[in-house]
Amino acid sequence: MKNNKWNRIVLKVGSALIAPERKGCSSRYLLHIAKFILQCRDMGIQVILVSSGSVAAGAHFFNNIENPSLAIKKAMAAAGQNEMMAAWDRFFDFPSAQILLTHGDLRDRERYDSIRETLFALLDAGILPVVNENDVVTTDALKVGDNDNLSAMVAAAADADSLIICSDIDGLYNKNPHTHDDAVLIKEVDAIDQDIYAMAGGAHSSVGTGGMKTKIEAAEKAISHGVSTYIINGFNEHSFEELISGNNPGTYFKPYQRPMKDDLHWMTHTAKAQGELIIEADSNSPFDENSEQFTSNEIVEVRGDFSVGDTILVSSDDGTHLAKAESKYSSCLLNFITTHDNDEDNDFQHHTGPVISDKNIAYLNQDEEEGQPV
């Protein structure tokens, strides 16, 4: 847990720290965060900053509209992004680089690899990458939705040692500390289960979009890749002083002892299923590393629209999710095959090979000891 083992960290800073009053960027809380970044770099630790705040920073240009439309929010993001980058730049005497992403970029394997290469090139050149979701162009189908989960995806892509997520409280409590005086801070989490999610509750900040639940989701993504994760109070300068000293100022999430491999992690936590195949629950499960891949004959139902190479979910008809995988056929073709399965003159389905690629499969029913989600 000591930070002298860090080579590369991802630091996630939320909107409430950037523009606490939605009147443009403020240095009120950013000074001690910038100091922490400088100290890390002086110690030879590479830093990637995932910074929210473009919408909050640009809100004051639009007469403080209480319930802005989606188009206005996108315009706020466009206007606020420059102001947010300028706010960070004024603290540093080294260059920074803006990286705007959508989930569509991350879930496409070719673009994901390109993002990795860009991050590594920037870090090697001593440039601070500043990552944010591209709110101006993103849609419901393409957005991550919160920068907590985005920061975990970036941490995995960048092979970071640690992810530090700033919150408005000291970390994860056993109950909401805003409403319960007897709430107890959970200093260390060995494994994330439903009990941990039950403690997370809902969002509290009126400025940011991510509550504690999204931070737990992000922690789960990160630790499965072997990334140590902290949730700390970003409003408290002492939090960063403790981190620099090698101490835990908030909640520390232990990483998997046997992290998931890069391709498997990407398939499980970053790639988004574009459709779903349903197979019979009582059939022999094809989702065993020692068994052959299933063919179209075993498909009960095809759901959604997807193309060759898209990520799909494979489930049994009792509702059990079995795997995420890369489809070798389009939904249109699989629908045609399964619809005509009983036609005497149609034997095309008998000549189709495995429906999913055996190279990109994330099994969803294996033990956590194997580096898999349960």
The pLDDT value given to residue 10: 98
Distance CA 209, CA 203 (A): 7
What pLDDT, on a 0 to 100 scale, did the predictor assign at position 207? 40
pLDDT of the residue at 99: 96
Q: Residue 343's pLDDT is what? A: 56
pLDDT at 369 over 50: no
| Tokens coding 268 | 């499980």
User: pLDDT tier at 204 (50, 70, 90 boundaries)?
Assistant: very low
Quote the percentage of the chain above a pLDDT of 70: 84
- Please give the model's pTM, rounded to 2 decimal places: 0.81
Q: How confident is the model at residue 374 (pLDDT cuts 50, 70, 90)?
A: very low
Say which range, 55-59, 139-143, 217-221, 238-242, has the weakest mean pLDDT.
139-143
Domain 273-370: which CATH number of 3.10.130.10, 3.40.50.12780, 2.30.130.10, 1.10.10.10: 2.30.130.10
**Mean pLDDT for all residues in the chain:** 84
Rounded to an integer, the average pLDDT of 287-308 is 74
What percent of the chain shows pLDDT beyond 90?
43
Reported as half-sphere exposure (CB side, CA atoms, 13 A), residue 179 has a value of: 7
| Residues 98-124 pLDDT 10s | 999 988 888 888 898 999 999 999 999
Considering only residues 1 and 54, tell me which one the structure prediction assigns the higher pLDDT.
Answer: 54
Whether 263 contacts 360, CB under 8 Å: yes
| Per-residue model confidence as pLDDT tens digits over 58-84 | 888 888 677 888 899 899 999 999 999
User: Between β-strands 8-13 and 228-233, what pairing exists: parallel, antiparallel or unpaired?
Assistant: unpaired
- What is d(CA 12, CA 167) in angstroms, rounded to the nearest whole number? 9
If you average pLDDT over residues 338-346, what whole number do you get? Answer: 60
Per-domain boundaries in the chain: 3-265, 273-370
| Mean pLDDT, residues 353-365 taken together | 72
Tell me the torsion sign for CA atoms 54, 60, 63, 67: positive
Tell me the pLDDT tens digit for each residue of 13-28: 998 899 887 777 888 8
Q: Which CATH homologous superfamily contains domain 3-265?
A: Acetylglutamate kinase-like (3.40.1160.10)
